[in-house]
Amino acid sequence: MPRLEGGFGDNLKVAVFGAGGGIGSALVESLADAPNVETVFAISRQGMNGAQCIAPVRCMDYTDDNIEALARDLPELDLVICALGILHGESFGPEKSRRDLSLENMQRVFHVNTFLPALIAKQMLPKMKRNTKSVFAALSARVGSISDNRLGGWYSYRASKAALNMMIKTMAIEHTRRFKNSAVIGLHPGTVDTALSKPFQNNVAKEKLFDPEFSAARLLDVVEKVGPLESGKIFAWDGQEILP
């Protein structure tokens, strides 16, 4: 990709959490190509494939319990993108009906989609650059919009993303008070061809199923455009705001 524009400077230091995921790895690749990005911290639970960890990419592992220690090893950051999330696991899928609700599965989904991004934001927001533009973005989903919910179903995923959106808004209010050039936003990547969407792609028109590379490029376009006035909002890949 060309330079990361929109008020970002030079020698940028950026971090992607969930860097081993479909969208996360595409974001790492795009950012690594930008000539004004000095280092991309690719942060993943699984340890990244060695071929992906060539400068300017620096791979780092983390667990739920060491986010605070990880933050101590990072420099001041211009951009952090939290690209983790789950919709289904080996033994469970999104609920079709209220009859499918289970405490264990709700906890799993909220853990990854809401609690971890909030804990990552807790540790990363104090590390953001204060005097120049900085952006913290978490991957959310359009289905987390309460006003947009016409089909029902997917209880835990929808609710966990709605709760994530509230975390983003609340973090934004606190953060942007002191970090005047910053934005804390949520992003909807579109329907993207990744492991997360794989079982649900049958009914998606071909032109509406994005490659991770396309989605990553559009999301970075949005990141370029946002500033303090947009902080706390959720945006789709095409820049449209998604209402709560």
The residues binding ligand NAP (CB under 6 A) are 18-24, 44-46, 83-86, 112, 116, 139, 141, 188-189, 191-192, 194-197
Smallest gap from Cβ 9 to ligand NAP, in A, equals 27
Q: Which is nearer to ligand NAP, 30 or 44 (CB)?
A: 44
Could you tell me if 1 and 28 are in contact, meaning their C-beta atoms sit under 8 angstroms apart?
no
Place of tokens 């709760």: 163
Smallest gap from Cβ 226 to ligand NAP, in A, equals 18
Q: Return the structure tokens found at 125.
A: 């927001």
Residue 64 CA to residue 198 CA, distance in Å, equals 26
Q: Which is nearer to ligand NAP, 34 or 43 (CB)?
A: 43
DSSP assignment letter at 237 = T
Smallest gap from Cβ 221 to ligand NAP, in A, equals 16
Smallest gap from Cβ 38 to ligand NAP, in A, equals 22
Smallest gap from Cβ 100 to ligand NAP, in A, equals 19
Q: Distances in Å between the alpha carbon of 169 and those of 10, 64, 114, 135?
A: 28, 23, 13, 14
DSSP assignment letter at 35 = T
Smallest gap from Cβ 20 to ligand NAP, in A, equals 3
Q: Return the structure tokens found at 144.
A: 């987390």
Q: Which is nearer to ligand NAP, 179 or 184 (CB)?
A: 184
Q: Which is nearer to ligand NAP, 19 or 179 (CB)?
A: 19
- H-helix or E-strand containing 194? none
Residue 235 CA to residue 223 CA, distance in Å, equals 10
Q: Which is nearer to ligand NAP, 7 or 214 (CB)?
A: 214
Smallest gap from Cβ 11 to ligand NAP, in A, equals 25
Q: Which is nearer to ligand NAP, 175 or 188 (CB)?
A: 188
Residue 230 CA to residue 194 CA, distance in Å, equals 28
DSSP assignment letter at 52 = G
Q: Distances in Å between the alpha carbon of 112 and those of 102, 127, 203, 216, 230?
A: 16, 22, 26, 20, 25
Q: Which is nearer to ligand NAP, 44 or 176 (CB)?
A: 44
Residue 71 CA to residue 103 CA, distance in Å, equals 31
Place of tokens 């709605």: 162
